[in-house]
Amino acid sequence: MVNSRGFLLGMGSDMGAIEPAAQAALIEQLKGIVGPGGFREGKDIATKNYEDLMGARAIAPALLLRPSDTQQVSEILKACHGASQPIAPQGGMTGLVSAAAPLQGEISLSFERMKKILEVDRFSSTMTVEAGVELQTIQEQADANGLLFPLDLGARGSCTIGGNLSTNAGGNRVIRYGMARELVIGVEAVLADGTIIDGLHKLRKNNTGYDLKQLFIGSEGTLGLITRAVLKLAPKPNSQVVAMCGVESFDKVADLLVHVQANLGSNLSAFEVIWQNTYALIDEHVAHASVPLPGHHAFYVLIESMGSDAEKDTELFVNVLNTASEKKLVDEVVLADSIAKIKNLWTVRDAAAEVYLSVGPMHTYDVSLNIDDMGYFGEEVEARLRTHWPTAIFGLFGHIGDGNVHIIINVGPDTEDHHLQIDEIIYGLIQELQGAVSAEHGIGLMKKQFLPYSKSAAEIGLMKALKHTMDPRGILNPGRVF
């Protein structure tokens, strides 16, 4: 059966179903591996372990496995490989491309019991963690040791580092610190047949052949399961200055970006943009977010500086904004001069992803473009969508400093029925502009038919060859990515 979003429901891999008797025996074997506290079945499986965040699927797995260490993960995959049993790996279940919720016949493997922070090394500025540790816990532990783990996204309290790495998460500070893959020194991963690849080390310079960790980072659990990682920490900034600016055109947004990059240098840690349409939605629908500027500006730009000298950094930041104002790049500025005000400005930015809680079902998109195409993209994508749905609730926002824009849209009570049509309009324009259909959320199920819009046939062929080599029986997250 095909649902309105254009992908198969109730279909796992293309291997064919396991015989009931064989699956029953396998399930008993798997229960023995993890012990009484390491599995859930039937009505004991919480909906959070199978209900898709996007509302597309809610198929309870035959078994939910909750291993406590890498050796158990290895034994689970070895047994499933031998039986050709498909596995759906799970982190915090906060993904937006339908990659982690199980398909029919799959067994779920959750890292929810693998939550140890194994070491914080201040001398190498690293932290070694298990895959199930929440991002916020890692941030807080780094902070307690006078360091910073800079990966940051709205789901920080529930997303896990294993999921962050498997999707190569981006978030708010990519402009300075890079994507998740730039924040990892080593990983331990388990292959489909149970083989443990121990790549845990703290060596910043390690040029001994292929960088195998990159096979697992961003592969969405299709090539192997990350079980532990050595994360790269940064010095904890001694200063944080944040402002929100009202800007009249996207050309000026782009010029403002160049201006602050040139004058703030490495202190520039975030450059976030909210289109007027989204700003109005935040003001109307997100009660806990208090917008700091009037709603007549075309764009709202949140700029953040983080450095080592609070007094000098603040003075530099103010001077840079004053110069921007003199150059007519900004029309109005609100400077956050306290921790509470900084939090309030970031709350407004994070609220862009919370509008749907009041509006109702909204399709969300995560795309990447050349920055000089974004002004045209914003106008053109709205025009094309409103040709079909003139009264649609629509907004754009994103991490524009690194070329990433998000789109949210509700076309009415039947929004769910038009997902594929909306996809084709948005991704068609992305293809025309030679952008990427996914900037930071991955491909999963929901974008796989649009992968050729951003990858060549040769690239996809090589990806499939890697998949076949590393997972010849197709048990790891089958049907995702391609």
Looking at domain 360-464, its CATH class is: alpha beta
Assess contact for 230 and 187: CB atoms under 8 A. Answer: yes
pLDDT in tens, 47-75: 888 887 766 677 899 999 999 999 999 99
Residue-level pLDDT at 57 = 73
Protein fold of 239-351: Alpha-Beta Plaits (3.30.70)
Residue-level pLDDT at 7 = 36
Residue with tokens 């473009």: 369
- 285/293 Cα distance (integer angstroms): 16
| Token pair recorded at residue 223 | 């090539």
Assess contact for 90 and 49: CB atoms under 8 A. Answer: yes
pLDDT tier, 20 (very low <50, low <70, confident <90, very high otherwise): confident
Of 440, 431, 432, 457, nearest to 403 (Cα)?
440
CA atoms within 13 A on the CB side of 463: 18
Q: Do domains 20-112 and 117-235 have the same CATH topology?
A: no
Residues 6+ apart with CB under 8 A from 122: 145, 146, 147
Percent of all residues in the chain with a pLDDT value above 90, rounded to a whole number: 81
SS3 state of residue 133: coil
CA 416 to chain centre: 22
- How far, in Å, are 160, 243, 248, 319 from residue 225 at the CA level? 13, 40, 46, 48
Question: Which element (helix H / strand E) includes 271?
Answer: strand 268-275
- 405/99 Cα distance (integer angstroms): 21
Of 119, 154, 118, 121, nearest to 136 (Cα)?
154
∠164-347-436 over CA atoms, to 5°? Answer: 45
- 423/429 Cα distance (integer angstroms): 10
pLDDT in tens, 319-340: 999 999 999 999 999 999 899 9
- 403: region left, alpha or beta (phi > 0 left; psi from -120 to 50 alpha): left
Q: How many helices (H) and strands (E) does the chain have?
A: 14, 18
Of 245, 251, 355, 377, nearest to 302 (Cα)?
245
Sign of CA dihedral 158, 164, 166, 168: positive
Looking at domain 20-112, its CATH class is: alpha beta
Assess contact for 284 and 291: CB atoms under 8 A. Answer: no
| Token pair recorded at residue 447 | 């974008």
- How far, in Å, are 85, 220, 222, 260 from residue 62 at the CA level? 11, 21, 20, 53
Length of the chain: 482
Sign of CA dihedral 165, 88, 71, 91: positive
- Average pLDDT rounded to a whole number, residues 257-278: 96
User: What ranges do the domains of the chain cover?
Assistant: 20-112, 117-235, 239-351, 360-464
217 vs 15, residue with greater confidence? 217
- How far, in Å, are 60, 126, 148, 172, 473 from residue 203 at the CA level? 42, 10, 19, 26, 34
- Average pLDDT rounded to a whole number, residues 92-120: 91
SS3 state of residue 197: strand
Residue-level pLDDT at 96 = 79
- 114/422 Cα distance (integer angstroms): 38
Percent of all residues in the chain with a pLDDT value above 70, rounded to a whole number: 96
pLDDT tier, 17 (very low <50, low <70, confident <90, very high otherwise): low
| Token pair recorded at residue 117 | 């922070």
Residue-level pLDDT at 101 = 86
Looking at domain 117-235, its CATH class is: alpha beta
